[in-house]
Amino acid sequence: ATFVTGVCLIGVIVACAFATAGAFAHARVGRLAMAPVRFLRASAQLVSTAVYIPLASSLVQVLQCPVGTSWLDQGRVWQCWGWRHAIVASSVMLALLLFLALTLVCVAVFFNRSPGSNNVLSRAHGRVHVAMVVIKTILPVAFALDHALPPAVLVAACLCSGLVWFTLYWTFLPYHDQFINRLQCGFAAVHVWA
């Protein structure tokens, strides 16, 4: 938990530095001046897609601690849900909520809206992706609490998330390129089937 907190703090400092440099880049003209803004946009897209579930899973690992057992952190053994572990778990949950909120803002706002764009990932709105981020948060939390939840709840969480995923891409068609919408529906169908 200490390593994850340190990495998150360094990430926030780097993001603030790039945001400050990007704010001053609008005063200057040129490709090099906009590099920090492009980096922030690319990193926000990466964090909200491919890296989201591993980051969320690493944050909720501290919750994988049944009551009455012990939790090992860098050589120290703590009682699960004792006062030390509860402080770490509550700070991790706060960090997860902050991470979720910032990712929801990035997903809802920063995307290519142009239907004539050469980018196949251009889309009309960000509502579906906001719902997908919520699903990608619920699943790691549910599987982190697998010791406290019956297996039927975990199966229902997987089944419902897949059905919501399929329904969102089938109904709202967020991408301008219909192949990407069909591909997402196929991924959702495989998720439900598996």
Number of compact structural domains in the chain: 2
- Give the per-residue pLDDT at 149: 86
What single-letter DSSP state applies at residue 123?
B
Predicted confidence (pLDDT) per residue in 75-114, tens digit: 677 788 888 888 888 888 888 888 888 888 888 876 777 7
- Give the per-residue pLDDT at 187: 94
Q: Which residues of the chain, if any, have pLDDT below 70?
A: 1-10, 12-13, 15-34, 37, 71-75, 110
pTM of the predicted structure, to 2 decimals: 0.72
Q: For residue 114, what are the CA distances in angstroms to 111, 120, 150?
A: 9, 10, 45
- Do 35 and 104 sit in the same domain of this protein? yes
Give 71's strand partners.
78
- Give the per-residue pLDDT at 166: 96
- Do 140 and 187 sit in the same domain of this protein? yes
- Give the per-residue pLDDT at 148: 81
- Do 83 and 167 sit in the same domain of this protein? no
- Do 185 and 153 sit in the same domain of this protein? yes
Position 3: which residue type? Answer: F
- Do 101 and 137 sit in the same domain of this protein? no
34: containing domain? 1-110
- Do 138 and 160 sit in the same domain of this protein? yes
Check: CB of residue 65 under 8 Å from CB of residue 80. Answer: yes
- Give the per-residue pLDDT at 13: 65
- Do 119 and 106 sit in the same domain of this protein? no
Predicted confidence (pLDDT) per residue in 128-144, tens digit: 988 999 998 888 888 88
Return the H-helix or E-strand segment holding 186: helix 178-193
- Do 103 and 11 sit in the same domain of this protein? yes
- Do 15 and 100 sit in the same domain of this protein? yes
